[in-house]
Amino acid sequence: MKILVTGAAGFAGRHLVRELLAAGHAVATTDAAPADSPAAAGLPDYAPADLRDAAALRALVRAARPDAAIHLAAISFVPDAAKNPTLLEEVNVGGPCNLAEALLAEAPAARLAFVSTAQVYGASAVPGAAPFSEDAPLRPATPYARSKADAERALARLAAERGLRHVVLRPANHTGPGQSPKFVAPAFARQALAAARGELREIRVGNLDSLRDFSDVRDVVRAYRLAVERGADGAAYNVSSGAMLRIRDLLARLLALAGATGTPVAEDPALWRPADEVPTLSIARIRADTGWEPEIPIDRTLRDLIATA
């Protein structure tokens, strides 16, 4: 297929482009970065576009003539999402709607894979509860999660009313080589290496009591590819490794891998968030429809983070 990837210059985007090319697909890419910027370097068939510009997206789709599009572009860092509600709405809700409209106008047979988030289910796990299936009610608890849930609903309306072909992906937290140090795992990896070199006397941390479901980004982008190739129109798919890890345990593993075990930690109020636990997700649907299974264990992910931090 010819597949258009939005947000291609980002963390997951670059991994996804490599995954699609390795599987034999042709790829066109877009992001907000200028074409001559380092962020866009090496991306195939790249054209910059602003998600808020419906006309630009339509021209992009007309030129690319894709068989499918995978929409990654978004404001994805939760604290950033809370700072500017208007921008969040324009990018995370208006952006996918603009792309969907462009596909309906210029490539109506194309399938849109919209990358949402498992945070649409809410952040509080219920001890002993069955894993959340894709039919669980959406109870987003943050502006970021609400924006993704709103976009899901808008795309479902376009599917019902105008025949948009689409699938929805709901990934849990994912990390791996190349992730921004704004996120917890690469931030800890960098600090752990600096401590091992004697450049840092203490690790700056937020709340270490939260529990997260970490997947490897390379597993996650393989799920995106398989959903585009084999998923059912209109279906939503959880993407999860089931590798639940307390944030303090994540830090301990990274310190051990870096050779910095025993480094003192100091709480940073700027990093603090209330403790919470994410629900366990069922991946029965994506397994049945596409054959996807997580393959990369968390220890390999963390080793690769340390190796590339």
pLDDT at site 270: 86
Residue 11: how many CA atoms within 13 Å on its side-chain side?
Answer: 21
Model pLDDT for residues 242-273, shown as the tens digit of each residue = 888 999 999 999 999 999 999 999 999 888 88
Structural domains of the chain, ranges and CATH numbers in brackets: 2-175+214-242+280-295 (3.40.50.720)
Model pLDDT for residues 11-55, shown as the tens digit of each residue = 999 999 999 999 999 999 999 999 999 999 999 999 999 999 999
Model pLDDT for residues 76-135, shown as the tens digit of each residue = 877 776 788 999 999 999 999 999 999 999 999 999 999 999 999 987 666 667 899 999
Pairing of strands 203-205, 265-267: parallel
Report the C-alpha gap between 18 and 209 in whole angstroms.
35
pLDDT at position 138 over 90: yes
* Backbone torsions φ then ψ of 239, nearest 5 degrees: -130, 110
CA dihedral 225→228→234→240, nearest 10 degrees, is -10
Q: Report how far apart, in Å, the C-alpha atoms of 206 and of each of 19, 48, 187, 279, 282 are.
A: 33, 35, 11, 21, 29
Nearest to 92 by CA among 163, 132, 140, 48: 140
Nearest 5°: CA angle at 88, between 83 and 89? 135
Residues pairing with 26 in the sheet: 2
pTM: 0.94
Model pLDDT for residues 191-241, shown as the tens digit of each residue = 999 999 999 999 999 999 999 999 999 999 999 999 999 999 999 999 999
- Tell me the three-class secondary structure of the chain, residue by residue: CEEEEECCCCHHHHHHHHHHHHCCCEEEEECCCCCCCHHHCCCCCECCCCCCCHHHHHHHHHHHCCCEEEECCCCCCHHHHHHCHHHHHHHHHHHHHHHHHHHHHHCCCCEEEEECCHHHHCCCCCCCCCCECCCCCCCCCCHHHHHHHHHHHHHHHHHHHHCCEEEEEEECCEECCCCCCCCHHHHHHHHHHHHHCCCCCCEEECCCCCEEECEEHHHHHHHHHHHHHHCCCCCEEEECCCCEEEHHHHHHHHHHHHCCCCCCEEECHHHCCCCCECCCECCHHHHHHHCCCCCCCHHHHHHHHHHHC
Residues pairing with 244 in the sheet: 213
40 token code pair: 């866009």
* Cβ-Cβ contacts under 8 Å for 136 (sequence gap 6 or more): 121
Is the CB of residue 293 less than 8 Å from the CB of residue 284? no
Amino acid at 272: W
pLDDT at site 128: 64
Residue 8: how many CA atoms within 13 Å on its side-chain side?
Answer: 30
